Every structure is written in C-alpha cells, then in structure tokens.
Amino acid sequence: MKIRTKDIHCHILPGLDDGFQDAGKSLEAIRMLAKAGCREITFTPHINPEQFPDTDEKLVRERYAQFVKQIPPELGITTSLAAEYMIVNGFEKRAMENPESLLCSSDKSVLIEMSYYYRSPNLEETVMGLVLNGYRPIIAHPERYLYMATCLDDFDSLRGSGCRFQLNYLSLAGYYGPSSVRIIKYLAKNGWCDFFSTDLHTVPQLYNILHRPLAMPIRFSRNPAVRNLLQL
Ligand SMILES: [Fe+2]
C-alpha cells in the first residue's frame, strides 16, 4: 500500500502510551515513513485518563520538545503535535467548557476516538461542544467501531454535525473483517474518507502497511467513488 504525504495519526512519540517505547525505534519508523514518501507527521499520543493516567498535555508537550531534536533534518520530515482523545465520561464537558486546553492541530482539528466495544454515550455532546467552540472534530478510525456497521445512518448525522473521518491503512487491507470493510465502503461511497493514517504503534505494523494489498472487496469494488478514493 502507498503512504500519503501526511500522517495525522500515529503513536510514534515514545514512552507515553501503548505505542513506541524506545526512541531508537521511533526514529527507525520515521526513516521508513520518509522513504515511503511521507513528509508531514502529526504525533497523536492517546490521552485517556482511564488507561494512561500519567499522560497529560503537559507531559506530551515536554516529550515532544525532547524528541523532535533527535529527528535528522535530512529526512525532510515536518512534525507537529496533537493527541488522540478518548471520549471518556466527562470529556464532553471539556469539549464544551475548556476546549483551548486540548492538543489540536493549527486548524483546530481535534482527533477523538471511542472504545472498540461500545459507542461513547457522550459522542454527540462532545462533537457539539467542539463545533460550537470553533473546533473541528475528526473521528479516528470509524471503520474499527464494528458496532456501527449495523447503523450506517449514524455516519450521516455525525457528518451533518461537522465530523470528518480518518481511516487506518491496515483497515483497508481487511485487517478488521467484513464489518469494517462495509463501513469503509459506505464512507467512500459518500466521499467521507477524509484522511488515511498509519495509527502506527510499532515498526512491524509499518512493514504490514507497506506490504499488504487492499482487501479484495475494496480492490474489486465496482463503485467508481470507492475505486477512486481507495486506490492508494
Ligand atoms: Fe491511535
């Protein structure tokens, strides 16, 4: 699979979450991404107080400042810092009352995610809070929320509320099964595949991304919109 020039979602910044732990491996991944044609990387560590209670914006900023100095300039990679926010209980309050505390991109895009097992009951409130405050929610890997494959209309209302969608390359290879592919095809048909990203946690994952072909139902889809969007 080909990598696009921008990667807006990865866990390469070391020692903060369930992603990279070792700066040497992080640099190896960045070298590989550069070789594969990537030019801009946004580091997005998980901010999820339930799973990583020690990782907050302050720590993430400090680690970023230390780590970027180690990236060789000759790689020609531009980096920036944001985060992947789990929509835990209470996050909707933060989105509504204190969004300026969130790590987001310069165009105010905020990457948000949910559990793979259940839909966050406060998803709509979170999206509303962000949008009302002028922020731009991006839903991380919607194709991994398999419970949404049976209610695809949900994506229509999320789109209508101002959400954009970021898909993972590995999902395009069919890694998460037919329900995931169904979601991808639905988003592609509607022109809602806004970003493709690595969501990289390890170096072997990147080997997989670079060497796996698209899943058959995507590769051989007859829908021209799906073909156009997904022929990476
Ligand atoms: Fe992620």
First and final CA of the chain: distance in angstroms? 6
Given this model, what pLDDT does residue 117 score?
96
Given this model, what pLDDT does residue 221 score?
76
Structure tokens at 182: 């169904």
pTM passes above 0.85? yes
Pairing of strands 164-168, 195-197: parallel
Distance 140 CA to ligand 1 centre (A): 7
The count of structural domains within the chain is: 1
Q: Is residue 61 part of a domain?
A: yes
Distance 47 CA to ligand 1 centre (A): 10
Residue 231's pLDDT band, with cuts at 50, 70 and 90, is low
Distance 166 CA to ligand 1 centre (A): 10
Q: Is residue 1 part of a domain?
A: no
Average confidence (pLDDT) over 51-63: 97
Given this model, what pLDDT does residue 232 score?
58
HSE value, Cβ hemisphere, 13 Å, CA-based, for 8: 22
Average confidence (pLDDT) over 24-45: 97
**Using CA atoms, how far apart are residues 120 and 117, in angstroms rounded to an integer?**
10
Nearest to 8 by CA among 105, 77, 93, 87: 105
- Which CATH number characterizes residue 224's domain? 3.20.20.140
Residue 142's domain comprises 6-230
Residue 179's pLDDT band, with cuts at 50, 70 and 90, is very high
Given this model, what pLDDT does residue 180 score?
96
Distance 160 CA to ligand 1 centre (A): 24
* Tens digit of each residue's pLDDT (9 = 90 or more) over 15-30: 999 999 999 999 999 9
